[in-house]
Structure 1
Amino acid sequence: MSTNLLTLEAVQTHIGAYHILHGVDLAVPRGQLTMLLGRNGAGKTTTLRTIMGLWHASQGRVRFGDKDITALQTPQIAGLGIAYVPENMGIFSDLTVKENMLLAARGAKNAGQIDDTRLKWIFKLFPAVEKFWNHPAGKLSGGQKQMLAVSRAIVEPRELLLIDEPSKGLAPVMINNMIDAFAELKASGVTILLVEQNINFAQRLGDTVAVMDNGRVVHSGSMAAFSADAQLQQSLLGLAL
């Protein structure tokens, strides 16, 4: 079995007339949390969307384990055990928290059919999901919506989570709660690829890091080594951690 759960090989992505990804090489080790860093516009979100099949690579390969998923449609990719939490969270505001969760639990026809053990685990990770179970999702705070978005992604067992800027706009206490939850998710064996701008978040959670610039991965390695190299941080991100 490969040590990498997800591999991108020379991936290029065009969106209309725009050439966004220029040959992305990326390896996401199995059972680890990989941080995807880079300046705004570097191609991080496009990379996640390409993996998920929302946009298709014009060249290169995306592999999940030993399976080539480059040309698969998004529902097929999701069926392999990959979940995506977009930056805008994708919450259905007019539906309750329970109804949002039920939509993601494809094997359940009603809330009573959602795996009870798994649901209790999610409630432990994100108590707000249980507290506001019957409330309209649109009434939740930004942090609570983010917790719901991640909860939806894991309501069924997943091998890989793709998460785009989960700490954006959150209060520090919410960020700490999110860090604790992701640490527990990782400990459960889930592999995570996470785009993040919050450097403290990245340092505390990341096992490995990949830095993008101009549609390419320009650095990859351990998060600990990257955190210890202020000169490298400055050259790649324009700031020091």
Structure 2
Amino acid sequence: MKPGAGQELLIEQLAAGYGKVQVLWDVSLRAAPGEFVAVIGANGAGKTTTLRAVSGVVRPSAGRILLGGRDITRASPTRIVASGLGHVPEGRELFPLMTVRENLELGAAMRPEARAQATQTLAHVYSLFPRLEERAGQLAGTLSGGEQQMVAVGRALMARPSVLVVDEPSLGLSPRMTQTVFEALKAVNAEGVTVVLVEQNVALSLRLADRAYVLENGQVVREGSGAALLADPVVREAYLAL
């Protein structure tokens, strides 16, 4: 795939919610080009809403979001994908009656440069997840949960993103499948793609992260390197039961 250098993702004083229900207040975070950033917090803290705002699914009520220095705060999801952002949503959101390959190929549909290089990118996705090549003609709805998560990650990679935001990739997966998915995310990051990860496995996330943020009640309450937060006694007590 050999994507270009990752872009910076910058979120400044973001507020967002659903209708009259506000979920985020004044959220600011930064993922520098090529960084691996983890966002942790309890259920309902606003992690998923943050990623949905970044990808244009939720419209912010205040603040701004910059992707590679360009303001995407109120851009459409299609334009945001075309600008270089890939989103692996919580729950995968695959098309169950389409094959694995068809689901993957949809990921390249919204970027002309991705369509032009779809064959090479698909080969790269298969190198990350060999099982998907074995299952290429199988309906996505008949796959195991782990295999479906591989498809969701692979579909986002088919757009050749420079920034990849990933929401709860290990949810419902076995430890072995979790390891496979995380190894793929590490490999993608090593190629230069900026990765922003929301994940329930706090220890694993912080071990991988260059930078990490803790969200509580829609606000950032702690930030630092992954190693620093992993050693933080407050984080360890609240999220690692240590």
Q: Same fold (TM over 0.5)?
A: yes
* 1:117-151: CA deviation from partner (whole Å, max 9, x where unpaired): 32222111111110100000000000000000000
Q: Distance in 2 between matches of 1:65 and 1:114?
A: 22
Runs of 4+ off more than 4 Å: none
Q: Distance in 1 between matches of 2:205 and 2:54?
A: 21
Partner of 1:70: 73
Q: 1:131 to 1:96 in 2, by over 3 A?
A: same
Residues 1:120 and 2:119 are matched in the alignment: no
Q: Which letter does structure 2 place at the counterpart of 1:89?
A: R
Partner of 2:14: 11
Q: 1:24 to 1:162 in 2, by over 3 A?
A: same
Partner of 1:24: 27
SS at match of 2:44: coil
Partner of 2:89: 86
Partner of 2:104: 101
Q: Distance in 2 between matches of 1:60 and 1:108?
A: 27
- Equivalent residues of 2:108, 2:118 under 8 A apart: no
Q: Which letter does structure 2 place at the counterpart of 1:35?
A: A
- Equivalent residues of 1:179, 1:205 under 8 A apart: no
Of stretches 65-74 and 88-97 in structure 1, the one that deviates more from structure 2 is: 65-74
1:176 pairs with 176, 179, 193, which one?
179
1:157-176 alignment, distance < 5 Å = 157-176=160-179
Q: Percent of pairs identical after alignment?
A: 39
Q: Distance in 2 between matches of 1:104 and 1:66?
A: 24
Q: Shift of residue 208 of structure 1? A: 1.0
- Equivalent residues of 1:32, 1:192 under 8 A apart: yes
Q: Which letter does structure 1 place at the counterpart of 2:231?
A: A
* 1:177-222: CA deviation from partner (whole Å, max 9, x where unpaired): 1121111101000001110011232133211111100111111110
Q: 1:4 to 1:76 in 2, by over 3 A?
A: closer
- Equivalent residues of 2:81, 2:111 under 8 A apart: no
Q: Shift of residue 116 of structure 1? A: 3.1
**Unaligned runs of at least 5 residues, structure 2:** 1-5
Q: Distance in 2 between matches of 1:102 and 1:108?
A: 12
Q: Shift of residue 113 of structure 1? A: 7.0
* 1:55-79: CA deviation from partner (whole Å, max 9, x where unpaired): 1111111111211111111111111
Q: 1:96 to 1:108 in 2, by over 3 A?
A: farther
Q: Distance in 2 between matches of 1:186 and 1:33?
A: 7
Partner of 1:42: 45
- Equivalent residues of 2:78, 2:110 under 8 A apart: no
2:144 pairs with 141, 144, 163, which one?
141
* 1:61-98: CA deviation from partner (whole Å, max 9, x where unpaired): 11112111111111111110101111110100000011
Q: Which letter does structure 2 place at the counterpart of 1:204?
A: R
Q: Distance in 2 between matches of 1:166 and 1:232?
A: 21
Q: 1:58 to 1:32 in 2, by over 3 A?
A: same
Residues 1:211 and 2:214 are matched in the alignment: yes
Q: Shift of residue 115 of structure 1? A: 3.2
Partner of 1:199: 202
Q: Shift of residue 114 of structure 1? A: 5.6
Count residues in correspondence.
235
Partner of 2:3: none
The alignment's C-alpha RMSD in Å is 2.1
Q: Which letter does structure 2 place at the counterpart of 1:159?
A: S
SS at match of 1:181: helix
SS at match of 1:227: helix
